[in-house]
Structure 1
Amino acid sequence: MGSSVIHVDDLSASYQKNKVLENVQFRVEEGTLTGIVGPNGAGKSTLIKTMLGLHPILTGKVNFWGQTFKKTKKKIGYVPQRGSVDWDFPTDALDVVTMGLYGKIGWLRTPSKKDKGKAMEALDKMGMNAYAHRQISQLSGGQQQRVFLARALVQNADLYFMDEPLAGVDASTEKAIMAILQELKQQGKTVMVVHHDLQTVPEYFDHVLFLNRTVYAYGKTDDIFTKENIAKTYGGNMQWIGEGDQYVVHTTS
């Protein structure tokens, strides 16, 4: 078992007076690929944002490698939901990816030829080098997602958070993204992914976190991806087909 990368202890968060996370506790080991699953409104995106200081903590604490996010943020990459990004901003794909390097080169410095080269390599890895100078508003949803993943890759982080990277993409983009995530895991990186499709969890992730305001279960997928844990997390909002735990389908809400 690897060393602990993330330690979340008694974490709670709210929007106005509505508590959306309560007593969330878990530890994540190094070199794992975790799917965060739960029904709509379960607090999955809020969990990531709260851990990364993008949403205030009500109670509890979050540590990365035993330290605060502020002290470790250069080692952490983040891919937000595509719908939360202003894709009409007048910039091209290469510039978007190069922005991933600003934490290291500084916002006031002009990116060097070497920096641009790194950004092009990341775009190439995502099959997007031919679109380097295309305005991001002119890209399809799947292409935009590939660009945003390239932006995270160019950071060369040790820990990645990705919020629904597979939502609304075509099959080839989904396959490409998952191949990259598996490669990151093989390199010893740690990846946490908000995911919506229960059917693909056993294939895609070696660990799974069941969340519905609090953590119902977390651990190796082979051990805890069971019909019982899914039912506890999703309540009555489930449909089942076939027999056994592997025949889970989408939630009804």
Structure 2
Amino acid sequence: MHVLKVENLSAAYRKNTVLHDVSFSVKKGSLTGIVGPNGAGKSTLIKVLLDLHPKLTGNVSFFESPLKTVKTRIGYVPQRGSVDWDFPTDALDVVMMGMYGQIGWLKWPNKKHKEKALNALDKVGMADYAHRQISELSGGQQQRVFLARALIQEADLYFMDEPLAGVDAATERAIMTILRELKNEGKTVLVVHHDLQTVENYFDQVLFLNRTVVAHGEVHNTFTTENIEKAYGGTVRWLKEGIGLVHSPI
């Protein structure tokens, strides 16, 4: 069964098409990196899939069902830059927001809910910051809190938009350890990612996107110089060096 299936998806901002004829499918238990140049539509793709931005054409199914019937099985970590970090709340409350589906709207979380949220914060190394205002946290700490909020949903499919952008090395390692654990538990994770040098080490699947799908498949077959050049065009020159890829302007 496909956890996610996308067929002929298109979307636009105002009159500018940002996604065109996007088609791909994702199987259970995979860890997929979504890569492409700036402006390729990576973040827009996630928003359209989750009905956070309207689509022009196409069909999307999750677990062979429409989104509205399986929302509780899907977790989402947005870009850190899209969040109002000045909102007056602490890390524990942010995590408990991920349990609204379990708690119910207009109801107060109980002791069990708070313990569950604390456990999620502990898993990402943030238990000691539970009552710290989110505006007082560093970028990496804020990202860990939002990861905890997603984990507490106990979803089967996770979308993460640039979770490694602007974080320190320790946070990057911690996040990737958690994502691998999710994969090993049979969860499915799609990650918008910006660093091509780590794709081979971090993911088992890669999706090259530049307004449409350039290539998609297992990393060892798909993460090639040819596909990188197709996706990124002539803006960069890619050289294979050891286990990674380095680039320099043409």
With structure 1 as the length reference, what TM-score do the two structures score? 0.96
Match of residue 140, structure 1, among 138, 141, 157: 138
Secondary structure at the aligned position of 2:245 is classed as: coil
* Contact persistence 1:93–1:136 (CA under 8 A): yes
Residue matched to 1:47:
45
Deviations 1:100-155 (A, max 9, x none): 00022112110010000100000000000000000000000000000000000000
1:248 paired with 2:212, answer no
Query: Comparing both structures, which one devotes a greater share of its residues to strand?
Result: 2
Q: Which amino acid aligns with 1:58?
A: L
1:169 paired with 2:167, answer yes
Secondary structure at the aligned position of 2:59 is classed as: strand
Secondary structure at the aligned position of 1:151 is classed as: helix
Change (3 A) 1:151 1:42: same
Secondary structure at the aligned position of 1:248 is classed as: strand
> Deviation at 1:248?
1.9
1:68 paired with 2:66, answer yes
Change (3 A) 1:248 1:185: same
* Structure-1 separation of matches of 2:248 and 2:211: 17
* Contact persistence 1:39–1:251 (CA under 8 A): no
Residue matched to 2:155:
157
Match of residue 104, structure 2, among 78, 91, 106: 106
* Contact persistence 1:199–1:250 (CA under 8 A): no
* Contact persistence 1:197–1:250 (CA under 8 A): no
Q: Which amino acid aligns with 2:153?
A: Q
Change (3 A) 1:128 1:21: same
Gaps of 5+ in 1: none
Residues matched between the structures, number = 250
> Deviation at 1:249?
2.4
Deviations 1:225-246 (A, max 9, x none): 00000000000122334558x5
* Structure-1 separation of matches of 2:50 and 2:240: 40
1:224 paired with 2:218, answer no
Q: Which amino acid aligns with 1:183?
A: E
Runs of at least 4 residues off by over 4 Å:
250-253
Match of residue 11, structure 1, among 6, 9, 18: 9
Q: Which amino acid aligns with 1:146?
A: R
Aligned Cα root-mean-square deviation (Å) = 1.3
Q: Which amino acid aligns with 2:2?
A: S
1:79 paired with 2:77, answer yes
Change (3 A) 1:251 1:213: farther
Residue matched to 2:197:
199
> Deviation at 1:247?
4.3
Change (3 A) 1:104 1:240: same
The alignment-based identity, stated in percent, is 69
Residue matched to 2:207:
209
* Structure-2 separation of matches of 1:126 and 1:78: 16
* Contact persistence 2:144–2:171 (CA under 8 A): yes
* Structure-2 separation of matches of 1:168 and 1:37: 16
* Contact persistence 1:92–1:133 (CA under 8 A): yes
* Structure-2 separation of matches of 1:121 and 1:127: 10
Residue matched to 1:116:
114
